[in-house]
Structure 1
Amino acid sequence: MFVPGIVISAVTFPGVVVHEFAHQLFCRLFGVAIFEVKYFQFGNPAGYVLHEPVRNPVHQLWIGIGPFIINSVLAAIIAFPAAIPVFKFGTGSFIDYLLLYLAVSIGMHAFPSTGDAQTMWNSLIRGADTPLWLKVITVPVVGIIYLGALGSFFWLDLLYGMGVSFGLPALLIKVMA
């Protein structure tokens, strides 16, 4: 089933907002000046953060993968209290299901975008001042991002969001029970 990306972005806009916030957060952590932030818009891209060129190449990698870290952790944290009544007891309130929707939405947008991958490639792989060890780390990261983008055609992003939001809390509940 094909659903245009703009529709998916509109339905899962909380995840887009958190994705861009994560980029902004890592820019702030590393003292990288931000010129413009668009948390959500109808169009392609659904959001973006424009920042100055980084002085330390390692910071560019962290800024690029920041959404994967922040969105994944936040999705699990939001889902966990809702997952207990839904998955452990088979009941749940409207708020529980709303939290699970937010968690899946945020988890779905954990993957860095192809624009993020392109920025990492151009600044880190092509960058003359990038150390070899960082280039060795960045090449597979960029490859995984592009595979994730290809996988989104097959709903990999939704499966990831559900895994973080449903699977991880259900697993933790099962282990702790």
Structure 2
Amino acid sequence: MFFIPGIIITIVTFPGVVAHELAHQLFCRLCGVAVFEVKYFQAANPAGYVIHEPVRNPVHQLWIGIGPFIVNTLLAAIIAFPAAIPVMKFSSGNSLDYLLLYLSISIGMHAFPSIGDAKTMWNTLWHGEDTPKWLKVVTVPVVGIIYAGALGSFFWLDLFYGMGVSLGLPVLLIKMMA
């Protein structure tokens, strides 16, 4: 593997950053949590963010934190499906197919919650006085997986995940239906 500065990857895959922040904002809205400020993309660290009011229900913080994993994964799969089959099975993709795959892979790459998301979940849920014990138990592995994903991104885990959702999943679904 080779090293590419994170800011370059972030700029190239900016649709994924935008989708990631939209997912946080969507889950804030679904949970009735007011959003104060959103930065969908910037060429800096962090690449995007959502600032919202403190949650009233601790489980909402978990949903807001993992929202990008759900939304980006589904969005990447849906965008890729019509393009992946011609490209992967028939080697006959056109420029629109490759554009859709680029969008899909970049969105899938940003499905993992960030370290900042993990820290917010941990601080809100683990240290919250009104957090139920079952939610604290759920939070520990979720935060651990997020940290493992962040470590794995050094080894291109995010790219492999994006490609798996965008290229592998549609082909697998077709094989299962055939």
Q: Structure 1 length as normaliser, TM-score? A: 0.99
1:126 aligns with 2:147: no
Which structure 1 segments of 5+ residues have no match?
Answer: none
Contact 1:104/1:158 (8 A) holds in 2: yes
Instruction: Give matches, 1:79-118, under 5 Å.
Output: 79-118=80-119
Give the structure 2 partner of residue 33 of structure 1. 34
Following TM superposition, the consecutive aligned residue runs of length 4 or more in structure 1 with deviations greater than 4 angstroms are: none
For residues 119-164 of structure 1, give each alpha carbon's deviation from its aligned partner in whole angstroms, at most 9, with x where no partner exists: 0000000111100000000010000000000000000000000000
State the Cα RMSD in Å: 0.6
1:19 corresponds in structure 2 to 20
Deviations 1:45-80 (A, max 9, x none): 000000000000000000000000000000000000
Query: Would the aligned equivalents of 1:20 and 1:47 in 2 still touch at CA under 8 Å?
Result: yes
Residue 88 of structure 1 contacts residue 173 of structure 1 at CA under 8 Å; is this kept in 2? no
Amino acid at match of 2:87: V
Q: State the alpha-carbon separation in 1 of the partners of residues 170 and 111 from structure 2.
A: 17
TM-score by length of 2: 0.98
After the TM superposition, which of the residue ranges 44-53 and 81-90 deviates more from structure 2?
Answer: 81-90
Unaligned runs of at least 5 residues, structure 2: none
- Tell me the equivalent position of 2:156: 155
- Percent identity of paired positions between Structure 1 and Structure 2: 80
> Partner amino acid for 2:136?
K
May I ask how many residue pairs the two structures share in their alignment? 177
